[in-house]
Structure 1
């Protein structure tokens, strides 16, 4: 029997995009390779050419999402600071923007409650947090211990802001002013 015609060639990228959306909306345990294949219009067997199993696919998503977030944060270090904003404020704002513009990415990276799945994201979360902590240390001029405390509080607050808004219907550009005020308020606590 001939394979059903599909609109696009099956690629690793397409599989990951569909899987990310399904994992974020239905939950990891509710999504099977068969479900992903059906969503793509392919048999689930064709997915195994790209990924040996669902866990490897999930792990690839987490790694890809952290690479994207790290790149966005690194870009801030090479950009000229916006007038009236410090680099730390820009980094924090970039983190918030990422969470709100990529809600499915953020869901998979930070909001999955499944203990078995957290093991895939914890090493990446730790590296991201250590990097953020060092930026707070540099920006605040505090000792390393105090900077780590400040970084932890800032990170929790940014995460809370994103979590509060991530599933809303308001686009980032309509929340941006509130996000900027939130970041300014948090950084005033460093002084």
Structure 2
């Protein structure tokens, strides 16, 4: 009976949303299940009903966020023709939008500087980069003479977008605040494919 009451008053989704912000603000190692529960106004037992340990909670966050990002990217790709420059530009803008509209998600997914925690996200990061690389290489293949860029360009473009997102997260800029700059940035980056 007590478990049912806990499940009704504290959902897994609510824990994930509030824990995401706490992890981004305070860091993984600073928090405990007890401190997360206290910040939410619950006993730590309420969290253990949904998650056995902090690592499981963190992995659930990372997994959910990457799944959301990948689904948004795949959906966007399915609406356009593979290899078109416009498809790549839309994909890049979608990635920037995701990062700036979800700064706590993005920080946990791509900016946590901890070797142990990176183990949770490395495979999922690789899936995002692979999808992005496929679109970049497809666009490159339409232009003769781009063979040497096939393996360096995806990483360079990705790192440039990451820098743009990280900088704007640091200064608390929303996507709407920098939308025009994002469009110009993506257009500039895509010039490298045409050159």
The question of a shared fold, defined as TM-score above 0.5 by the shorter chain, is answered with yes
Aligned length: 184
Following the alignment from structure 2 to structure 1, what is the Cα–Cα distance between the partners of residues 113 and 172?
23
User: Who is 2:180 aligned against?
Assistant: 177
Contact 1:59 1:120 in 2 (8 A): yes
Following the alignment from structure 2 to structure 1, what is the Cα–Cα distance between the partners of residues 53 and 88?
39
Following the alignment from structure 1 to structure 2, what is the Cα–Cα distance between the partners of residues 167 and 9?
34
Aligned partner of residue 28 in structure 1, secondary structure: coil
Determine whether 1:16 maps to 2:16: yes
User: Who is 1:3 aligned against?
Assistant: none
Contact 2:139 2:193 in 1 (8 A): no
User: Who is 2:3 aligned against?
Assistant: none
User: Who is 2:171 aligned against?
Assistant: 168
| Structure 2 spans left out of the alignment, 5+ residues | 1-5
Following the alignment from structure 2 to structure 1, what is the Cα–Cα distance between the partners of residues 129 and 172?
28
User: Who is 1:30 aligned against?
Assistant: 30
Higher mean C-alpha displacement, 96-105 vs 67-76: 67-76
| Structure 1 spans left out of the alignment, 5+ residues | 1-5
Q: Pairwise CA RMSD of aligned residues?
A: 2.1
User: Who is 2:112 aligned against?
Assistant: 112
Written as runs of structure 1 = structure 2, the 5 A alignment for 1:87-102 is 87-102=87-102
Written as runs of structure 1 = structure 2, the 5 A alignment for 1:137-148 is 137-141=137-141, 146-148=149-151
Determine whether 1:44 maps to 2:47: no
How far did residue 168 of structure 1 move? 2.0
* TM-score between both structures, scaled by the size of structure 2: 0.88
